[in-house]
Every structure is written in C-alpha cells, then in structure tokens.
Amino acid sequence: MNNAIKLAADIGGTFTDIVLEAGRQRWSGKVLTTTQAPELGVIEGIGLVLEQSGMNPADIGVFIHGTTLATNALIERKGAKTAFVTTRGFRDILEQGYEKRFDHYDLMIDRSVPLVPRTLRFTVEERLSADGDVLQPLEESALQELARQLRGENVKAVAIGFLHAYAHDGHERRVREILSAALPKDVTICISSEVAPEIREFERFSTVVANAYVRPLMAGYLHRLRDQLRDMKMDCPLFLMMSGGGLTTLETAARFPIRLVESGPAGGAILASEIAAECALPEVVSFDMGGTTAKICLLTNGEPERARKFEIARAYRDMKGSGIPVRIPVIEMVEIGAGGGSIARVDKLNRITVGPDSAGSTPGPVCYGRGGTEPAVTDANLALGKIDPAYFAGGKIRLDEAGAKTALQKAIGTPLGLKDFWPAAGVTEIVEENMANAARVHAIERGRDIAACTMIAFGGGAPLHACRLAEKVGVKTIIVPLGAGVGSAIGFLRAPIAYEVTRSAAISLDAFNAKTVNTLLHQMTRDARAVVEPALGKTKATVQIIADCRYVGQGHEIRVTVPVKSLNDADGRKLKAAFEAQYEQVYGLRIPNQEAEAITWSVTVSSLAKKPKRAAKTSAKSTPKPRSRRLIYDPALGKQVTVPVYWRFDLKPGATFKGPAIIAEDETSTIVGANFRARINSLGYVILEKAK
C-alpha cells in the first residue's frame, strides 16, 4: 500500500466516475451507474482503472468516495420507514414549517410532503426551558407503550427531536437509551442534539428526520462497499466526501449520512477552487454538467461560497422554501435538472421543455440502446455531431445515432413541424437557456456580476455546452481542465480531511463572557479533532472558528470569523466591529447603539491544503493537424459546418487555433464555438477566449 496512490469514485445519476492517481500519472474511466446496487458500478470502475494502470488493489493507499445515493433516496422517497418522536404539542412542526407560503400568489400551492406521515409522529410528556430547567419531567413509564407502537408499525428508523435539545440533550439521550433496549437491534435511532444541535425547531427536526430516513440505506451501502473492497484485498483507508467540501471517515458518514447529500457537486467546487488558485482568477463561476443535473457555483479568490442550510426535493424547482430544509455545512450552488439524460418533450403550449426528469443510466437516452424511448440532451448532442458515436465514454458505449434522430423527430420535430437537425438544435438551445437563467439568478441573488467571472467547465456535458452558455451570460473566458469529464472525482483527490462541529449558544457581544465561549469552543474543537486527527497520522491540522452574529431581535445572522486563541472579554468588541463592518457591506448601513449577539458557533478542523502549482506563460507553438473532420451545428453561425476534430493530448502548451472546432478526449469533448479562440496553457488546460 502506497499513500501516494489515490483512488476516487463519484456515483452520479447516470455515470460512476473513477480516477486513479499516482504522482503525476492519472487513469480514469466512466461506467454506467448500477442504480439498484451502486457498489457494483464502483467495483467495475475500479477494475477498469486498475487494468489501465497495471496496478493491484493492494497498491492503493487512499480511497475517496462521493455519492448521490442519499440525495436520490430523499428525492425519490425510497428511504427507511421512519417515525418521529417529539415534545407533546409539537407533533405537526414538520408540516407547519416556517408558517408562511413560499409563493404568495399560487392559490393551489403544493408543499413538499414531510418524510414522516402524521400517523408515525409521536409525542411524549417532557419539557425543558431554554436555560435547561425541567418544566415537565420526562414520562419514562410511557416509553414502553411507545416502543410497542413502533414495533407494531414495523419502523426501521426513529428520529427524536425535543424542544431546546440543541442546548440540553438529556431527555433525548434518555429516550434513545430506553428505545434502543426495547426495539429490534436493526432499528436505527437518531437524536437532533447530535445531528443538528442548532436553534430553530423546524430545521433541526427536519434534519434529524432526513438523517434517520437515509441512514439504514447509506450505512448498509457503505458497509457492503467496504466488505467488497476488502474481498478485493484493498485494505486502505476509505474516506467520504461531505457537502461542505471536506472528507470524513466511513464510520462518521454512516452515522450522519445527511452530510453527504451534495458530496459529488462539492468535489467539483474543490476542483474549481484549485484551478482558480493555479490560474490566479479572482472571480470564477464553475459549471458542472453531468448525466442528470447541472451545477453552478460562484467562487471569490479561490473560495466557493458556503452555507449552513440546504433544501432537498423542492416541490417547485426554482422556488426557495418549497423543499425539505436541512442544517448541514454545504458549498452553496444552484443545481437544476439539466444533464445529458434530461428528457426533452413538447408541452401543451407547443414549447420544447427539457427536464427536470432524467433517463438516468436505466434505460438512459435513446442512443444508449437500453430501452429508452424518450429523447434526451445526449441524443440531441449526438444528432448535432458534437459526440462521436463510436468513442462515447472512451468507446465503452456505442451510440445509436439513427435511433436518436428518429426519437427527436417523433417527439419534437413532427409536433413542431421541424426537420433535419432543427429538433436537436431546439433541445440544446432550451437546455442552455435553462442553465443560463439559473446562473443569472444565482449571481444576482448574491450581488455578483457573472459576466466578470471566468467559467471553469467540467463534467461529461459541460464542455459541450460551455461556449454557448458563456455567450448567453456574457462570460468571455472559459477553462476546461485536464480530466474534465471526471472533474468531481478529481476534486475528491484535492479535498482536505475535515469535520465541522456546530453548537447554538446565545452570547452577547456587548457583555461578552469569554470564559463561557472558551469552554464551549474547547469542547467543540476537541469533538472535531476526535473525528479528523486519527485519519491524519502525523499531518498537522488547522482550525477555523465562525460565529453567526446578528443584532438582538433579528431573525437572520451573518457569519464572522473568530480568532483561534484563548479569547478575553475585550474580544467581544472586536467581534462586534467585524460583524458591523460585514453587516454594512451586505446591507449598506449599521444600526447605532444596538446590541449584537452571536447565536451559533462552528469549529472546523481540517488537514493543511497543499499550495497548487501556478500556471506559467507559454510560447506560441504550431497546432498539429486534426485527426478528422465532422459536421456539427454551430448556434453562433446558425447552420451546420464541417469542423476539425483535434485529439486533446496532441495539443501541447502554446498551441492555439480559432473555432469552430472540436477537442476530443476519452470522457468528453470540448466544442470550440465560432466566436472563440482556443489555446493550451502550461498546465495543459484548454483556455477558450471570446474572439474580439
């Protein structure tokens, strides 16, 4: 086993991407995701890259894994049968939510249905105050009857969430202890004070329910994968990618699988962060398009935007507040149903629509020849000449071009009176406009000018659409990194081992109690180190502390960095000054003579990141002859043109040429639009620049 040899696997809705890296050498591959047993696709992909490299499973030093399994289980409602136990009087919190409509003008509004139906929500007599005083003792005698009801309902998971348990968890722990002894051993029990120890009951209860709902599925999958890896004689450490951009151990991931819901997209953001540092890019928009979804993330000075709340399974695709909220550390991005497998159709108003539903890997787009009958974005790209039917996914999947064209004509062309390549052109134009609109809204909501950003495009589909998307949003420069088709998996290899611990504790910044804060932060740092440091060995860890601050009486907070040291009472004034400076930057004002407070504290312990290699200037070099030529549709020209097809690894640093053209590689192809010029930088990245 060599720690310098790293393996990464990213399970997506359509493809499972595998990357093996040893020093400067890299081998990668794509296999169709095996939806019913995802570990089988991972094992198949591992065999593929091991065969390419000539290595044995025992040679692998570290295996890093990300998956959409938890996300898909929540969206498709395929988790465990779950019950919820809460304080008497709070049974309906999961349905009451924020007690407001997320769309004030929709009289027939559809809300996201709670994961636990009302018949499986139970209450017990207990009540603690916010200060920890016992207002109503826990009625332990009733818990045996509760256990009998849970056994009768044959539940496989129990979520426990009591009022004020974020600060005082005694009752939650006692109920877990009693139910664990009374229920079958295969029933998983989660408590909110461990999963999300933060204020706001609805979000805390929603998070612990979601964690319990997916834990049997995820723990079972992770343990099956671990066992299969051991059967292969791969006995290296296994880390899981988390939504916040850090890695954690299999044991922690199995306990808190809710932290994995955005693990794949987080890997892409980590890759974009490294590229931004390598190329000294202050403002970046990352564009990750796979088989099922497209993800767009904004980065400033190499750092992606982060949040502490995420919504899953929105009832209205682009409507904030219509999904299931979970309180987890997450890299903030917008994700829409616009991938290679997104299904295209004509609606009742005779408009082309694309997604959000996807053909996935089974049956997949029509051109896969696996039984699909509805055309998808990949079918349109194939019909437009953007994809080589004989070399898709490195030649492992031969595509049916005639079948794709027939399906597009039947579903799109005939209803709209379109012929030839125009049905396919309509599909790609709509999916690109959907992505452009999502990118515009995401940037505007954060006060950012997307046109000032450099786009980093990766994923199997992004390089196919990047030029057109850039034109729509005004971006003038695009970077397509090496291994773009498996970009998120490469990002896993760059991620730090990290873990974040949060606690809600209201502390006045004007009457700052440093002793209380130091005690709290010491405990949190100890808990985070206990997760991270056993996996680090001799590697040093860094600590970051954040406080969520607000003016007293407000309902929302601003994140403020806290110095990593033993605090004194004077540091309260410094934290308030930092909060007010940031408040003014966001809202344009300060509130004079108004007391401020910190509500929630977070401590992140992580491994030290390596400094990336900076891109150097290159001298111009002649461009090699193209390997072939292909007829494609270029939207900037509005017609089909025959363009040169270059093999990416024939292009050396300094090579440059003008579009339209295609740059082909194993896992994707980069379409160089007619209005763009391509060049290869010192790191081998394709730089696409809008021609003046």
**Residue 628 in domain:** no
pLDDT in tens, 623-642: 888 999 999 999 999 899 99
Among 549, 584, 607, give the residue marking a domain's end.
607
Q: Are residues 420 and 546 in the same domain?
A: no
User: The sheet that has 639-647: what strands, in order across it?
Assistant: 628-634, 639-647, 661-664, 669-672
368: helix, strand or coil: helix
Q: Are residues 42 and 110 in the same domain?
A: no
Q: Are residues 27 and 98 in the same domain?
A: no
**Residue 458 in domain:** yes
Structure confidence at residue 145 (pLDDT)? 94
Residue 617 tokens, joined: 């200037």
Q: Are residues 102 and 241 in the same domain?
A: no
**Residue 671 in domain:** no
Of 481, 434, 430, whose CA–CA distance to 284 is shortest?
481
Q: Are residues 315 and 455 in the same domain?
A: yes
**Residue 321 in domain:** yes
Say what the alpha-carbon torsion angle 447, 449, 454, 456 is, to the nearest 10 degrees.
50
Q: Are residues 433 and 284 in the same domain?
A: yes
Which region among 171-180, 184-193, 440-449, 643-652 has the lowest average model confidence (pLDDT)? Answer: 440-449
If you search the block for the tokens 């890019």, which residue do you land on? Answer: 281
Among 547, 576, 607, give the residue marking a domain's end.
607
Which region among 499-508, 538-547, 670-679 has the lowest average model confidence (pLDDT)? Answer: 538-547
Contact 448, 298 (CB under 8 A): yes
| Whether residue 356 has a cis bond before it, omega within 30° of 0 | yes
Q: Are residues 95 and 168 in the same domain?
A: yes
Structure confidence at residue 370 (pLDDT)? 87
Of 606, 685, 93, whose CA–CA distance to 306 is shortest?
606
Structure confidence at residue 513 (pLDDT)? 93
Among 215, 235, 251, give the residue marking a domain's end.
215
pLDDT in tens, 310-359: 888 766 666 777 788 899 989 888 878 788 888 999 988 999 998 887 88
**Residue 666 in domain:** no
Q: Give every CB contact of residue 610 below 8 A, 6+ residues apart in sequence.
A: none
Residue 527 has pLDDT above 50, yes or no: yes
Rounded Cα distance between 498 and 43, Å, is 26
Q: Are residues 479 and 405 in the same domain?
A: yes
Structure confidence at residue 1 (pLDDT)? 46
Q: Are residues 357 and 323 in the same domain?
A: yes
Residue 652 has a CB neighbour count (10 Å cut-off) of: 13
**Residue 623 in domain:** no
CA torsion sign for 420, 426, 431, 433 is positive
Contact 230, 250 (CB under 8 A): no
Count of domains observed in the chain: 4
Residue span of the structural domain in which 375 resides: 276-496+680-686
Q: Are residues 124 and 183 in the same domain?
A: yes
Q: Are residues 86 and 100 in the same domain?
A: yes
Q: Are residues 88 and 120 in the same domain?
A: yes
Give the E-state strand segments of 376-487 in sequence order.
Answer: 454-458, 477-480
Structure confidence at residue 397 (pLDDT)? 79
Report the b/e string of 525-546 with b at 16+ CB within 10 A: beebbebbbebbeeeebeeebb
Contact 343, 378 (CB under 8 A): no
CATH number of the domain where residue 461 is located: 3.30.420.40
